[in-house]
Structure 1
Amino acid sequence: MSSTGSVADVIASLTREVSDFPEPGIQFKDLTPVLADTHGFAVVTGALAEIAEGADLVAGIDARGFLLGGAVAHRLGIGVLAVRKGGKLPPPVHRRTYDLEYGTATLEIPAHGIDLTGRRVVIVDDVLATGGTVAAARDLLVTAGAKVPVAAVVLELSALGGRAKVAPLPVSSLHAV
């Protein structure tokens, strides 16, 4: 990394912390300033692209994963697949419902129109917390026939144990707290 600091330093310096959001007692890590900063966005997407090198396709998870995944795919000269929240895609879809810290959610990908069979698809997202979202995305992609070699995230909230939830899928995080 250049004299401007490591990738983790750039992320840490630009991340906004918000107390008691979305619930009392939660210290929310807001990556919006990282993505809005020219240098921060370039550093993050460059580092994620290094992790995704060799992929056939990048799968970005709704919603900040779309921004990151699109930029990473563009850097690598490959396509991007949007892993959508439930109900946003026309049928037929592959669907996974999973547990969140505060309830359940559903992710979907198209069941037709994109052949994922045998393709190396790297998952890109902003945060790995409890791992449910990344695990659901992995399951969707594998169901569709993809090979998922790694998930790449900007920030990992280590205390929440997300790595264990997605194991044996390797996770590469740019910054862990």
Structure 2
Amino acid sequence: MKQRCFWVTDSKLYEEYHDKEWGLPIFDDATLFEFLILETFQAGLSWITILNKRENFRKAFDNFDYQKIATYPESKFQSLLRDTGIIRNKLKIRSAIHNAQVFMEVQQELGSFSKFIWSYVNETPIHNKFQKRTEVPATTALSDTISKDLKKRGFKFVGSTVTYAYMQAIGMVNDHTTNCFIYVEK
């Protein structure tokens, strides 16, 4: 049996996410936006809740097409509020629309969101060597900095905890514990 990180439950969905996505470096703007939206909806909830609804989110949010989302009319917002397949939080739905607009502003300014977010680590993932659950932080000085910068640009629901979870998800930090089969000594 494969040894995985402490947070992985016996859910096949969780295992697949851990084994094939979590912590792998992502540089594609479309995927970076998807994870940004999913992480902001996850705030205050468990990640498995988001994973269980991920396909519903894809359908509801036009496959996370930030160009479409940025122009959602009020009627689309209202239909999202009625969509039982997603998290129906008014503030989070509004923030997804708003964050799509800000995401594109960053792209226009810097050429890509990827260039912006990865510049914090010089395009090179941070490889931590955590052995136990208690060693893995919820926030770091870097997530504090990125969170402040995101907020200054106008992003919503991007506190330091959400930002650190985002950094883990997109592979900016490799927080697979040293006993996990995916962890590789760097």
Tell me the TM-score normalised to structure 1 length.
0.29
Q: Which has the higher strand share?
A: 1
| Larger RCO (CA within 8 A; separation ≥ 6) | 2
Tell me the TM-score normalised to structure 2 length.
0.28
